Structure 1
Amino acid sequence: MTVRKQPVLGILGGGQLARMLALAAAPLGVNTLVVDSAADACAGQVAPLRLADWTDYATLEKFAAEVDVVTFDFENVPAETAHWLAERVQVFPDPRALAVAQDRLAEKTLFRECGLETPAFHAVDTREDLDRALASIGAPAILKTRRLGYDGKGQFRIKQLADADAAWAALGAQATAHGLILEAFVPFERELSVLAVRARNGDFRIWPLTQNWHTDGVLSLSLAPAPKVNALQQRAEELARILAERLGYVGVFALELFVKDGQLLGNEMAPRVHNSGHWTIEGAIASQFENHVRAVLGLPLGDTSARGFSVMFNWIGELPDAAPVLRATDGHWHDYGKQSRPGRKVGHATVCAQDAATLAARIGDVARALTREEQAMPAVRLLAD
């Protein structure tokens, strides 16, 4: 009898995204192996974990020999490490995409080259550069690190020109090492994200646009499909396809978008599965995690259609009581197995329904039971309109 070897997917980074990738891979007959420097990385609760930092090439050499394909669960894996691994094993997405997404200046430049408009921006390497950039862009504006910033980290909002000194005091030390970028503040009407997946053979699919709300720079709630975006859905798909083909991208990625005066503006790209796509686990025919595994292993892609309407609550710092979600019809609970800590993503919940009115009622009940009305009411009002 021939014993079939199950493919092994290697994942750089052991957070909740790696955890959910491993859970999606198992039903496909795919084993996973995770690398992280933290012994308590939560993906290690559901998949084998190798302890190593990103320059531990001896351990990474063994890791490369044990897996068939490598992917990553967060974009701050050094591009050099991804390139080094790509010389030994297939790595998807291409490390080139990782390098672009790690640099906000390169990212914004690529957006514009692909026809996606962005807020005005300027590179800032010195205090004088900041003055020149502010003279051009004006205030309000946001000074950001070009690298290593996410979830609102590495940012300083300049409300008026007099805030320039405080902004430089907060972030100027990082200008020499990583560079800074000044971006015009956008009084946007909505925040949307588009999740897309591209296969090795070029097959390209997109999930419905998702509307997002943030608290202190961290995603707090997602609603999908975003209501009243018919005119934007096709344009978002066109832009995502152009970007994916430009990068030779394989796997799932997210584009975070602003809507201003009915037009899409590019904010950021995440070259990985994304927080705003967690609703797809229960709310889409094929989730972002399943399709990412399919794409990087060369398997046919799954259907990205929504099953109905979904709202995802993001739990930050600590988990609330699970009971109201578990009691809700079509309510789903996800505990990432992390210790509570301020600002940390520790879990999420998704509530689904076949129509907007039913979903509005269900999430209203859950939000009241958890005293999260302020978090949920924007979505409830949008669904009720």
Structure 2
Amino acid sequence: MTTHRIGPPPPSFGLPPVPGITLLGTARSRIRPRRATALATVWAATRLGMLGLLLVDHVGDSGVAGEVYTLYRRWYEQLVHGAFPLDDVTWQYPPGAALVFLAPGALPWLTYFQAFVALTLAADAVITLALARAGLPGAWLWVCGLPLLLHLPYARYDVMVTAVAVLALLAVGKRPHIGGALAGLGAMIKVWPLLTVLGTPPGRTTRAAWFSATASVTALLTVLMLGFTHSLDFLRQQGARGVQIESLGGTALQLARTMGWPGTVRYQYGAFEFVGPYVSSIARLSLFLSIAAVCWLLLWRARSRRWTPATPFDAAFAAVLLFTVTSRVISPQYLVWLLGLAAVCLTSRHTTQRTAALLILPSAAVSALAYPVLYDDVLAGTPVGLLLMVVRNGLLLTAALLSCRRLWAATAAR
């Protein structure tokens, strides 16, 4: 399979509104041409660099791009025949993810890899354009933050998921039906975008957004279950996951190894996970902390009395941070989600999340060092690999605690 360079057309910041995008941004004046040109230039330059790294990574089935070459394409070949992957431990996604993996088939003149990258690049451009129309600080964080993950974002489908979530958040304030429908679509692709309706203000906005999200999930799930077999097999594979080496629990176990813990690392369920004594206890603790996060979010929702235009942004960012740090898995592509939500927060001058949002930038940079640059050190648990995980996860934990504290103080504290 051969690949060809895909050049990114710079998004048209400052030009007349794109149909449909005006519904998703705030009512801001047109960006000044000089600022628009600077943003577009940096976007084009950084994306060319990311594409260059992707193409020299490996023109084959290994490296960062290997997941698209082998795994995604294998799923595509099964999905086009109307069946979700059966007894495939690597298939751990809601049925709506099929839409993403099938989408490259709409560009038959390209190889699967080329089409996937082209669609991811288009999703990146949509995010940038929507953020630029909503508020330049957010657009700059996204444009400068995504390249910190090197070429990984273009070899995973998380940019497309993040595009749905960003559009949902930017729409939910003034167009709650649209925002809710997009949140439901995103939830069917990767669950977490449903959190974009968590912070909607009480009353008509919440009812409209939550009703639309429920209707969107129900309608899409019904269509997928009628059109495909084994639609809910992903639940069985997800439940079997262990403790990934890059998670907070994995970092604790890695530290325990330096003090004599006899566990080992094994590749299973599509990731490198720990095997040994107390691993199941760490996994249960992670699940308990995720449940505790749900309880805290419900308590925050019940106690909140003060709402600003930024509250939906801040709540979604805090919620995804909580579920990230309590997860048994913290893959580097999770930083794509956090960068997108942090960028949305910075589009509003009312946000309480500036410091937490900025902490995502060094977290992304350290994540890229951990994978793919020094992943062998992370696997082996060398001092360098251990330091990278402690710093990255420490930054994420700090951002999560700070985010929740600021959100509570601004909306729920008396």
The TM-score, its normalising length taken from structure 2, stands at 0.24
Higher relative contact order (CA 8 A, sep 6+): 2
Higher helix content, 1 or 2: 2
